[in-house]
Amino acid sequence: MYFSFMTIELKLSDDHRVKIFKALSDPTRIEIIRTLYNANKEMACGEVGEICSVSKSNASYHFRTLREAGLIIVRKEAQTKYTKLDKVTFQNYLPGFLETL
């Protein structure tokens, strides 16, 4: 019984790893992560998009991919969306990665 639970837990963890690496396989998303890391603060999604020279619709796609992988946290305040890195995910799955940017 315990083994089955561990197998499911490892499978979920592996699925999360796949999402993370797929999200990081795009140069634009790496640039978004780098921008957020260098800013070291929450930023408006539009501001990040401008810095990375990404159109609004394209930026929305990239932010969604990063959010679904657990790499960023997005919150909405009125009409503006703000984002920041989810450092816990980086610490758990990619320790030292952010420092290489």
Percent of the chain with pLDDT over 70: 88
Concatenating the DSSP letter of every residue in 22-90 gives HHTTSHHHHHHHHHHHHHTS-EEHHHHHHHTT--HHHHHHHHHHHHHTTSEEEEEETTEEEEEE-HHHH
User: β-pairing, 72-77 with 43-44?
Assistant: unpaired
Q: Chain-wide mean pLDDT for the chain? A: 90
Could you give the CA distance from residue 53 to residue 71 in angstroms, rounded to a whole number?
20
Task: Give me the CATH topology for the region 2-100.
Answer: Arc Repressor Mutant, subunit A (1.10.10)
Question: What is the reported pLDDT for 50?
Answer: 96
- Specify the pTM: 0.86
pLDDT of residue 13: 82
